[in-house]
Amino acid sequence: MKPLQSPSLLQVLIFSIMLNIAPTSTQADTLLVGNKSQATLSVIDISSNSIKRVIRTGIGPHEVAISPNQKYAAVVNYGDHSVKGNSVSLIDIDKGEVINTVTHDKLLSPHGIQWFKDNKHILVTAERNKAIVKLNPFNGKITGVAKTNAEVSHMLVISPDESFAAVSNIVSGSLSLVDLKTFKLIKEIQTGGGAEGIDISSDGSKIWVTNRDDDTVSIVEVATRKVIKTLPSKGFPIRVKISPNQKYALVSNAKMNTLTIFNASSLEKVKEMSLASDDSKVPLQFPIGILIDNKSQNAYVAHAGGDKISVIDLARLERTKLLTGGLTPDGMGFIERKVSY
Contact 61, 339 (CB under 8 A): no
Cα 307 from Cα 327, distance rounded (Å): 6
Q: What is the mean pLDDT of each run of 10 residues along the chain (341 residues)?
A: 48 45 56 99 98 99 99 99 97 99 99 99 99 99 98 99 99 99 98 99 99 99 99 99 98 99 99 93 94 97 97 98 97 97 97
Cβ atoms of 300 and 31 within 8 Å: the answer is yes
State residue 8's pLDDT score: 56
* Overall fold of domain 236-330+334-338: Thrombin, subunit H (2.40.10)
Beta-carbon count within 10 A of 238 CB: 25
According to the model, what pLDDT value does residue 123 have? 99
DSSP state of 3: P
Q: Pairing mode, if any, of strands 142-147 and 164-169? A: unpaired
**Using CA atoms in the order 89, 90, 93, 98, what is the torsion angle rounded to 10 degrees?**
-60
pTM: 0.91
* 285 Cβ contact partners less than 8 Å away, ≥ 6 residues apart: 257, 303, 304, 305, 306
